[in-house]
Amino acid sequence: MKVVLDQDKCIGSGQCVLSAPEVFDQRDDDGIAVLLAQPADAGTEEGTREAARICPALAITVAE
């Protein structure tokens, strides 16, 4: 799995951090998401797929 985050689309809503805190964090100053790491196990991959599904800005792309 490879995750791509488009920070230009992100609106800082934070759902991705709730779904996959190992993969996503938010910048302190403006809340825009940052990619911490690629998912390293099946549970984290599922959380990452969920993040891509629920991101309101469609800023997360997952390639299997």
Residues binding ligand SF4 (CB under 6 A): 10-16, 24, 26, 33, 55-57, 59-60
Q: 48-58 b/e with 16+ CB inside 10 Å = b?
A: bbbbbeebeee
Least separation in angstroms between residue 63's CB and ligand SF4 is 16
Q: How far is the CB of 33 from ligand SF4 (least distance, A)?
A: 4
Q: Which is nearer to ligand SF4, 10 or 45 (CB)?
A: 10
- 10 Å Cβ neighbour count for 12? 13
Residue 11 vs 43, nearer CB to ligand SF4: 11
The SS3 of residue 48 is helix
